[in-house]
Amino acid sequence: MERPTWAPQGIDLSVPSVSRMYDYYLGGSHNFEVDRVTARKAMEAFPGLPKIMQANRAFMRRAVRYAVDEGITQFLDIGSGIPTFGNVHEVAQQASPEARVLYVDNDPVAVAHSRAVLKDVPNAGITAADFREPEAILSSPEAGRLLDPERPVVLLLVALLHFLDDEQKPHQRLATLRDALAPGSLLVLTHASVDNGPVTVEQGSRLSEIYRAGGSDLVMRSEPEVARFFEGFELVDPGLVPIGRWRPEDHIEDEDPMAFSGIAGVGRKA
């Protein structure tokens, strides 16, 4: 299989990556054939996946603007993926030139492409790390350069936690990060679920099987299960809601039912 010139050495081109599949759903070009094949299978099992990903991105942008309006200008985006139009640093720094953004991802393509995009961007950086090792994120040189632990931080976990089953201790990893955040910090989270939207439990199970066959867990959690991730945070209005219904701008942004699949919420640390 021919390796694209932008692909870092050492990547196994026969194994799909969730971040490169996400890039494909969003119409990006930093993905391999194995990612596209798996993504197309996923779209057959779970129609409208690209619409859900677009709704995720739109929610993320609304949450970032909300945070800046609340006076918070530090952002820690874990599982940030491959940069596309309207990334956290673009939205945040447009709203506040003082905004500082640290991206974190464990996919070498995402990290390499982010470094290229950010090389001339002040107050933004990327570190290669994994949510499952929160201490490594917090102690990274980039975290030391970009984030002031004495001031509130926005922790973004957008479309990330459903890739971790309970055996990988996502609640404990999140608690480590939460405890390191200053009071007033925000948790911005979305999660896959069949609790709302037009998809069925059977379709959700099939999607999970496709991801598992590609080497990744995909856990559909219920709204009460997602609410557990907000332990230590107070949900801000409107609470946990379908992704497209979290503070839509002026009106419901898109009446496509798939835009309301999944669960979104923002919580504030006391």
The CATH number of whichever domain residue 242 belongs to comes to: 3.40.50.150
User: Which pLDDT score, from 0 to 100, does residue 256 have?
Assistant: 75
- Residues 177-197 have a mean pLDDT of 94
For 55-108, the DSSP string reads HHHHHHHHHHHHHHHTT--EEEEET--S--SS-HHHHHHHH-TT-EEEEEES-H
Range of the domain at 132: 49-199+222-269
Position 85 in a domain: yes
User: Which pLDDT score, from 0 to 100, does residue 1 have?
Assistant: 54
- 267 three-state secondary structure: strand
Asked whether the beta carbons of 118 and 142 are under 8 A apart, the reply is: no
- Residues 172-191 have a mean pLDDT of 98
Specify the number of domains making up the chain: 1
User: Which pLDDT score, from 0 to 100, does residue 6 have?
Assistant: 66
User: Which pLDDT score, from 0 to 100, does residue 48 have?
Assistant: 85
Angle at 187 (CA atoms; ends 248, 269), nearest 5 degrees: 120
**Confidence band of 250 (pLDDT split at 50, 70, 90):** low
High-pLDDT (> 70) share of the chain, % = 95
Position 250 in a domain: yes
Position 42 in a domain: no
High-pLDDT (> 90) share of the chain, % = 71
Position 138 in a domain: yes
User: Which pLDDT score, from 0 to 100, does residue 170 have?
Assistant: 97
Q: Tell me which of 4 and 213 has the higher pLDDT.
A: 213
Position 55 in a domain: yes
**Confidence band of 251 (pLDDT split at 50, 70, 90):** low
User: Which pLDDT score, from 0 to 100, does residue 224 have?
Assistant: 97
Length in residues, the chain: 270
Q: pLDDT, tens digit, for every residue of 31-63?
A: 989 999 999 999 999 888 989 999 999 999 999
- Residues 145-170 have a mean pLDDT of 97
Give the count of beta carbons closer than 10 Å to the beta carbon of residue 2.
8
- Residues 208-226 have a mean pLDDT of 94
Position 73 in a domain: yes
Position 24 in a domain: no
pTM of the model: 0.91
Q: pLDDT, tens digit, for every residue of 5-36?
A: 666 776 777 889 999 999 999 898 889 899 99
Average pLDDT, the chain: 91
* Crossing angle between the packed helical segments 33-45 and 201-213, to the nearest 10 degrees: 160
Position 39 in a domain: no
pLDDT of residue 253 exceeding 60? no
Q: pLDDT, tens digit, for every residue of 60-82?
A: 999 999 999 999 999 999 999 98
Please name the residue that has the structure tokens 């596209």.
36
